Amino acid sequence: HLYCPTETAVKNLSNEGITKGVINSGDVMYDACLYFKENISTGFDFKEKGLKKKEYALCTIHRQENTDNPDNLDSIFSALQTISKDLEVALVMHPRTLKQIKEYSRLNLLKGLKVLDPVSYFEFQSLEMNSKYILTDSGGIQKEAYFHSIPCLTLRDETEWIETIDSGWNQIVSSNTDDILLAFDQIDSRRRTRID
């Protein structure tokens, strides 16, 4: 059997001529979010980290296409620094991202951002649930943003999770500073629907 998390995945297999044994099982990541919701809600110490719930944008950057490209890093962080003038930006720092920032001698990119060390699953889910917006290049975090009804901007040129785009909760903005800022300025005016 082939277990698919979405109707889109079922259709993609059908387009490839694969229909036998295909089951739309739903998304196990969503099941995990629901199952652990009580633990998640108390997972992160906001006071200790100096963050106020619903008063920050959560950001993660880890994909090679962004971390290994100094121009992309410069562009993304330029947008984050501009956003941070009006709204706290909490950046959960991936080790690869920090390594590349140091290698490119770009520590100045972190100026004005609330940089957090990597956190546990529960802590991160709590950070997601309590954020105002999410900016990420992570596939999984795009879905979790949708599960938690948090508007998301995807810092890539594509997504695996087209449903999050179709529902209006996610927008692909690439790594371009102007595209990120334009999308961020318009984020509250987008029409969003739940497609559970």
Q: Which of 1, 62, 94, 148 is catalytic?
A: 62
Q: Which residues pair with 116 in a beta bridge?
A: 92
Strand locations in the chain, DSSP E? Answer: 2-4, 22-24, 56-60, 88-92, 114-116, 133-136, 152-154, 170-172
Contacts 24+ apart (CB under 8 A), 29-36: 29/5, 29/140, 29/143, 29/144, 29/147, 30/143, 30/147, 33/125, 33/144, 33/147, 33/148, 36/121, 36/122, 36/125
Is 62 part of the annotated catalytic residue set? yes
Output DSSP code: residue 167. Answer: T
CA 103, distance to chain mean position in Å, is 24
Provide the annotated active-site residues.
62
